[in-house]
Amino acid sequence: MRVLITGSEGQVGEKLIKQCIDDQICSLALSKDQLDITDLSQISEILNEYRPSIIINAAAYTNVDSAEEYPEIAHSVNAQGPKNLASLCSNQSILLFHISTDYVFDGLKGKPYHEDDNPNPINVYGTTKLQGEENIKSLTDNYIILRTSWVFSDTGKNFMKTIMELSKKSEVLTIVGDQIGSPTSAESIANAILSICKAYECETFKPGTYHYSGEEFVSWFDFATQIVSFAKENGLINKIPLIKKISTTDYPTKSKKPMYSCLSSEKIGKTFGITPNNWRKDLENLISNLN
């Protein structure tokens, strides 16, 4: 197995590098500066040199609000990039593993989304990620699309790190309490991805779309409350700020967010034996390691 990882400097990309080293998987991890997935000729050159059996596309334009201002850039990375990868993977019999998002759904279902539920994104980010999925499906049958949500880690820009930084300098935090989802550690996503990759050569391997997210659905308010609690326990902040719960209407943003974007991980469990991690345990371990 030879794995090419795009977006190596992202949250999931960095964890994939570590897991490949730990598992002694032959891999080449490239940042956006080393491999621009919007450049078809550059991708082709890399593939001809490295000849991977699997590409894990962890590259994405993930700033949801910024995507509203720069839809062309979001489309280029999130839609055209996967299309470029899929076209080359199809010609060279390479498995394309693509990371997608819960934001392909509108959040109106009120219960966890399954893979066969109809997507209906309500912002530019979700729209471009869905276009990326559709482009892959139109060009190759040899793919895994993994939708996940609310990614957190000790690297990159994410909600956990933002809350911890705000807690060091603010006595009061106002956090949205009516958007519900599934926090998911980047490390658990990387583990799930590589578990599926290891099953690639098996006769029972089933390509397609899968959901994977942390277990226990919570609001951003609940997530923030747990973050500051663990941070205080581990001495990373001096005191716990007052956290006020507000509604989405009290916190206007450039992009609309789904109110309930929880994902069911039932299919990935039945197919690959992968069960969701408890995000609270992942968070506690992550913060204790920071200490």
Q: Is the pLDDT of residue 288 over 90?
A: yes
CB atoms within 10 A of CB 95: 22
DSSP type of residue 238? S
Of 58, 2, 65, whose CA–CA distance to 30 is shortest?
58
The dihedral built from the CA positions of residue 164, 18, 35 and 210, taken in this order, carries a sign that is negative
Output Rg (C-alpha) for the chain, integer angstroms.
19
- What pLDDT score does 202 carry? 85
Of 184, 179, 251, 232, whose CA–CA distance to 211 is shortest?
184
The tokens of 109 are what?
């279902």
Question: What are 212-225's pLDDT values in tens digits?
Answer: 999 999 999 999 99
**What average pLDDT does range 19-31 have in this prediction?**
97
Q: Is the pLDDT of residue 9 over 90?
A: yes
**What average pLDDT does range 41-52 have in this prediction?**
97
Residues 47/16, Cβ–Cβ less than 8 Å: no
- What pLDDT score does 201 carry? 81
Beta partners for residue 55, in sequence order: 4, 96
pLDDT band for position 23 (cuts 50, 70, 90): very high
- What pLDDT score does 289 carry? 94
Residues 5/51, Cβ–Cβ less than 8 Å: no
CB atoms within 10 A of CB 27: 23
SS3 113: strand
Task: Please state at what angle helix 159-169 crosses helix 220-233, rounded to 10 degrees.
Answer: 60
**What average pLDDT does range 232-251 have in this prediction?**
96
Beta partners for residue 63, in sequence order: none
Question: What are 120-168's pLDDT values in tens digits?
Answer: 999 999 999 999 999 999 999 999 999 999 999 998 889 999 999 999 9
The catalytic position among 113, 125, 143, 212 is 125
pLDDT band for position 261 (cuts 50, 70, 90): very high
Q: Which CATH superfamily is domain 2-156+184-215+262-277 in?
A: NAD(P)-binding Rossmann-like Domain (3.40.50.720)
- What pLDDT score does 244 carry? 97
> How far is Cα 33 from Cα 94, in angstroms, rounded to an integer?
23
125 assigned to active site: yes
pLDDT band for position 203 (cuts 50, 70, 90): confident
- What pLDDT score does 149 carry? 98
- What pLDDT score does 191 carry? 97
Kindly give, in sequence order, each residue whose CB lies less than 8 Å from that of residue 10, ignoring residues fewer than 6 positions away: 58, 59, 60, 62, 156
**What average pLDDT does range 247-270 have in this prediction?**
97
Average pLDDT over all residues of the chain: 97
Percent of the chain with pLDDT over 90: 97
For the chain, the domains span 2-156+184-215+262-277
